[in-house]
């Protein structure tokens, strides 16, 4: 059987915006309507017009970034105790911006010009691992009315990674390719020593960004599991399921609801899916499930925080230090 | 474009696919049926660039130190359901494919098995993108950040000690 080979660096697959696509994007920016530029791997369940190509620094719209605490829907205002020990999207953007700046410099020292795309053009649906707005399944009725169980599509095409030659990959990563089983690169490039894990590794080490968040992540996972073993949450889920049954849906819990209606990419979100999603939220409201579930979890997490206070506090401090170091690096 | 889609025995995989919640839709005439493809890399059918999230069958002794033994699957971008996805290329059954995600064949433990809720660790090999693995499909439930701060050649163990832990993933 053929072993999976390293990806050839520098050879981009079809779909990456080349010069033609960038010219078209400039025209799009000038207000001309364009039909389908091939999307770059993002699914678009709503079947809407594909996102514009060629994200630029001007496209970083922080108002579109996810909020740590939802400000709409049934999870509005809800916070869990472990969240203050997590890294937020906002933190990660500062760190990543600084890292790319350091990597650009480091690569230039080896004679490579690398053009990284701007950070923050395509924000994720959630700002931290707690994922409050979708933690107990969907909670936003306005989103459900448009997208069913899906999320809004990106408004801008996700930028591709920079084009890199084999030599550039070796210096950037310390490996001969961008796959987990790639061989280590030689120790030097043109007589100059490559840092451990390349310019990329060096930049994250310099910022102190290589933080292991396993503790807060694992505790956050465990509290969600334990909360479903409590009588109040079990009763709430049963009540929700009963409400859904009255509306014609046989579904045991809100996670199963997400897989209830078959989805087809390349087609518009079906009316069936939208109806089911709206029913899900209306039943959550009727049974007060989100508040009941959150209350049970908050109690569990309060205990977890008490039991792990020192280690969690150290994690929080490491994160704050990394963000601070990143800000300093950006100031030059 | 790599050709790496897998075909395993139809009977076993049809049952496995059904168990994974993939609806097999068949038209009245067999000639116009929806087809199923088993893939271990979503870039086999999407227009992808490099920089993938690897989902591994096994865990590692400690996160951040090397790769596990056994098989893996790779994802680029947002994946609503690690069971697979149905894409309709032209709105007809004949132009519709159910892609089912399985770990790569010939790679030891886990080869050919379904990816959903069956991975124990993950690697992020992107030069630019972070990823999050979600514990339910549709980007729901608890999520775990798999940043690209670590070397591509080092795996991060997923939070759940029992498998039953990965159902979707998204750029972070």
Taking only the tens place, the pLDDT of each residue in A173-206 is: 999 999 999 999 999 999 999 999 999 999 999 9
Contacts of B150 (CB under 8 A, 6+ apart): A210, B64, B124, B156
Q: Do A151 and B139 touch (CB under 8 A)?
A: yes
Confidence at residue B51, expressed as pLDDT on a 0 to 100 scale: 54
Residue A46 has pLDDT above 90, yes or no: no
Question: Which residue, A68, A97, A96, is CA-closest to A84?
Answer: A68
Residues in chain B with CB shorter than 8 Å from the CB of A118 are none
Give the bridge partners for A279, in sequence order.
none
- Beta strands across the sheet bearing B121-124: B72-75, B53-56, B121-124, B156-157
Longest dimension (CA), chain B: 53
B171 near B139, Cβ under 8 Å? no
Tens of pLDDT, residues A124-151: 999 999 999 999 999 999 999 999 999 9
Q: Do A255 and B140 touch (CB under 8 A)?
A: yes
Q: Do B142 and A43 touch (CB under 8 A)?
A: no
Collapsing DSSP states into helix, strand and coil, what is residue A323? helix
**What CA–CA distance (Å, rounded) separates B67 from B87?**
32
Residue A40 has pLDDT above 50, yes or no: no
What is the full DSSP assignment across A184-229? Answer: BPPSEETTEEPPTTHHHHHHHHHHT-----HHHHHHHHHHHHHHTT
pLDDT band at A221 (very low <50, low <70, confident <90, very high): very high
Confidence at residue A3, expressed as pLDDT on a 0 to 100 scale: 35
Residue A32 has pLDDT above 80, yes or no: no
Q: Other C-beta atoms within 10 Å of B24: how many? A: 15
Share of chain A above pLDDT 90, in %: 79
Confidence at residue A80, expressed as pLDDT on a 0 to 100 scale: 98
Q: Which residue has the higher pLDDT, A261 or B26?
A: A261
Q: Is B50 on the interface with A (CB under 8 A)?
A: yes
Confidence at residue A57, expressed as pLDDT on a 0 to 100 scale: 58
Domains of chain B: 10-171 (2.60.20.10)
pLDDT band at B47 (very low <50, low <70, confident <90, very high): confident
Query: CB pairs below 8 Å between A and B: how many?
Result: 208
Q: Other C-beta atoms within 10 Å of A115: how many? A: 7
Closest-approach residue (CA) in chain A for B156: A214
Interface test with A, best of B69, B90, B153, B166 (most A CBs within 10 A): B153
Region for residue B164 given its phi and psi (left: phi exceeds 0; alpha: psi -120 to 50; beta: otherwise): left
**What CA–CA distance (Å, rounded) separates B113 from B56?**
11
The DSSP H or E segment spanning A292 is: helix A289-307
What mean pLDDT do residues A232-255 have?
Answer: 98
Confidence at residue A76, expressed as pLDDT on a 0 to 100 scale: 98
Q: What is the mean pLDDT of chain A?
A: 87
Confidence at residue A47, expressed as pLDDT on a 0 to 100 scale: 43
Q: Do B104 and A4 touch (CB under 8 A)?
A: yes
A153 near A51, Cβ under 8 Å? yes
Confidence at residue B16, expressed as pLDDT on a 0 to 100 scale: 53
B13 near B35, Cβ under 8 Å? no
Confidence at residue B107, expressed as pLDDT on a 0 to 100 scale: 97
Confidence at residue A38, expressed as pLDDT on a 0 to 100 scale: 35
B51 near A161, Cβ under 8 Å? yes
**B33 secondary structure, DSSP code:** P
How far does the CA of residue B172 sit from the closest CA of chain A (Å)? 5
Confidence at residue B19, expressed as pLDDT on a 0 to 100 scale: 53
Q: Is B47 on the interface with A (CB under 8 A)?
A: yes
| ipTM given for this complex | 0.84
Tens of pLDDT, residues B119-168: 999 999 999 999 999 999 999 999 999 999 998 999 999 998 777 789 99
pLDDT band at A265 (very low <50, low <70, confident <90, very high): confident
Q: Do B85 and A43 touch (CB under 8 A)?
A: yes
Share of chain B above pLDDT 90, in %: 65
Collapsing DSSP states into helix, strand and coil, what is residue B84? strand
Predicted TM-score (pTM) of the model is 0.84
Residue B102 has pLDDT above 70, yes or no: yes
Confidence at residue A149, expressed as pLDDT on a 0 to 100 scale: 97
Residue A315 has pLDDT above 90, yes or no: yes
Residues in chain B with CB shorter than 8 Å from the CB of A43 are 77-80, 85
Q: Looking at the partner chain, which of A39, A40, A255 has a beta carbon nearest the beta carbon of B141?
A: A255
Residue B35 has pLDDT above 50, yes or no: yes
Tens of pLDDT, residues A267-307: 889 999 999 999 999 999 999 999 999 999 999 999 999 99
B96 near B36, Cβ under 8 Å? no
Q: Looking at the partner chain, which of B79, B86, B144 has a beta carbon nearest the beta carbon of A217?
A: B144
Closest-approach residue (CA) in chain B for A9: B50
Confidence at residue A52, expressed as pLDDT on a 0 to 100 scale: 59
Q: Is B76 on the interface with A (CB under 8 A)?
A: yes
Confidence at residue A323, expressed as pLDDT on a 0 to 100 scale: 98
Residue B82 has pLDDT above 80, yes or no: yes
Tens of pLDDT, residues B5-27: 333 333 344 445 555 555 544 44
Backbone angles phi, psi at A95, to 5 degrees: -60, -45
Write out the two tokens for A209: 């960004």
Residue A29 has pLDDT above 60, yes or no: no
Q: Is B95 on the interface with A (CB under 8 A)?
A: no
Closest-approach residue (CA) in chain A for B170: A124
Angle between helices A89-109 and A166-173 (to 10 degrees): 120
| Structural domain boundaries in chain A | 59-331
Q: Looking at the partner chain, which of B86, B139, B143 has a beta carbon nearest the beta carbon of A264?
A: B86
Q: Do B81 and A259 touch (CB under 8 A)?
A: yes
Q: Comparing A97-101, A230-234, A276-280, B153-157, which segment has the lowest mean pLDDT?
A: B153-157
How far does the CA of residue B161 sit from the closest CA of chain A (Å)? 9
What is the full DSSP assignment across A99-143? Answer: HHHHHHHHHHHTT----PPPSSSS--S-SSTT-GGGBTB---HHH
Q: Which residue has the higher pLDDT, B14 or A158?
A: A158
């Amino acid at each position: 059987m053929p072993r999976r080979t390293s990806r050839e660096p520098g050879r981009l697959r079809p779909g990456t915006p080349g010069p033609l696509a960038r010219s078209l994007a400039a025209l799009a920016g000038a207000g001309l309507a364009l039909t389908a530029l091939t999307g770059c791997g993002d699914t678009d369940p709503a079947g809407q017009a594909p996102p514009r190509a060629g994200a630029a620094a001007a496209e970083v719209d922080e108002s579109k970034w996810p909020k740590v605490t939802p400000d709409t829907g049934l999870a509005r205002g809800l916070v869990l105790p472990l969240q203050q020990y997590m890294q937020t999207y906002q933190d990660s953007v500062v760190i990543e911006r600084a890292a790319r700046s350091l990597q650009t410099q480091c690569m230039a020292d080896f004679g490579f010009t690398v053009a990284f795309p701007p950070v923050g053009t395509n924000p994720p649906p959630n700002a931290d691992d707690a994922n409050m707005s979708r933690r107990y399944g969907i909670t936003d009725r306005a989103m459900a009315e448009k997208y069913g169980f899906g999320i809004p599509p990106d408004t801008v095409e996700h930028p591709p990674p920079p084009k890199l030659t084999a030599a550039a990959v070796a210096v950037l990563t310390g490996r001969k390719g961008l796959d987990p089983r790639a061989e280590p690169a030689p120790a030097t490039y043109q007589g100059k020593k490559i840092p451990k894990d390349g310019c990329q590794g060096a930049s994250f080490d310099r910022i102190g960004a290589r933080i292991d968040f396993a503790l807060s992540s694992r505790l956050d996972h465990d509290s969600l599991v334990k909360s479903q073993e409590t009588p109040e949450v079990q009763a709430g889920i049963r009540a929700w399921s009963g409400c859904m049954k009255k509306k014609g849906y046989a579904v045991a819990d809100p996670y199963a609801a997400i897989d209830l209606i078959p989805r087809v990419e390349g087609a518009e979100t079906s009316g069936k899916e939208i109806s089911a999603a709206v029913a899900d939220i209306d039943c959550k409201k009727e049974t007060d499930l989100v508040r009941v579930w959150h209350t049970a979890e908050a109690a569990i997490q309060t205990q977890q925080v008490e039991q792990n206070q020192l280690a969690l506090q150290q994690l929080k401090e490491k994160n704050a230090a990394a963000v601070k170091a990143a800000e300093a690096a950006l100031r030059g | 474009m790599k050709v790496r889609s897998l075909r395993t025995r139809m009977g076993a995989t049809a049952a496995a696919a059904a168990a994974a919640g993939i609806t097999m839709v068949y038209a009245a005439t067999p000639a116009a049926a929806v087809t199923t493809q088993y893939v271990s890399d979503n870039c086999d059918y999407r227009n992808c660039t490099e920089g993938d999230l690897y989902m591994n069958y096994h865990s590692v002794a400690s996160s951040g130190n090397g790769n596990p033994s056994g098989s893996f699957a790779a994802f680029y971008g947002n994946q609503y359901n690690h069971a697979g996805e149905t894409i309709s290329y032209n709105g007809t059954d004949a132009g519709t494919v159910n892609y089912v995600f399985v770990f790569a064949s010939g790679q030891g433990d886990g080869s050919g098995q379904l990816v959903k809720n069956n991975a124990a660790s993950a690697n992020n090999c992107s030069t630019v993108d972070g990823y999050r693995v979600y514990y339910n499909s549709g980007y729901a439930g608890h999520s775990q950040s798999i940043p690209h701060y670590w070397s591509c050649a080092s795996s991060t163990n997923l939070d759940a000690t029992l498998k039953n832990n990965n159902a979707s993933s998204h750029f972070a």
